[in-house]
Amino acid sequence: MIQRDQLESRYAGRAAFVERLLGVFAHTYAAVPGELRLAVESGDSVGVARLAHMIKGSAGNIMDHDLLALARKTEQATREMRPESMGLALDLADALDLTLAGIGT
């Protein structure tokens, strides 16, 4: 979940920028939950790791600490080829869906 109070504090007095930042995130990541699920279905661990890495980088920018932690965990598990990596990727897709819904996509 996005910590809006922290996000607004980080960019104090720049409410329009915060909304633009969230809009860019929503636009950029709108299709990613589906891409993650497709990568899992096809067993594409390289794709899962790439998508998790992308999410990890951007989740911190919008102050979604839970999404950031899950993306980090997913990326690491996938790169280490751990059996739970694909389950984590599905959890990450669900978490990203919730974040996007919270933004209003």
Burial class (CB in 10 A: 0-12, 13-18, 19+), 98: middle
- Residue located via tokens 């909304």: 19
Q: Is there a contact between 36 and 51 (Cβ–Cβ < 8 Å)? A: yes
Which of the four pLDDT bands, split at 50, 70 and 90, describes residue 104? confident
Evaluate if residue 105 carries a pLDDT over 90.
no
Q: Which tens digits make up the pLDDT trace of 20-51? A: 999 999 999 999 999 999 999 999 999 999 99
Residue 19 CA to residue 36 CA, distance in Å, equals: 25
Q: Is there a contact between 32 and 57 (Cβ–Cβ < 8 Å)? A: no
Q: Is there a contact between 59 and 7 (Cβ–Cβ < 8 Å)? A: no
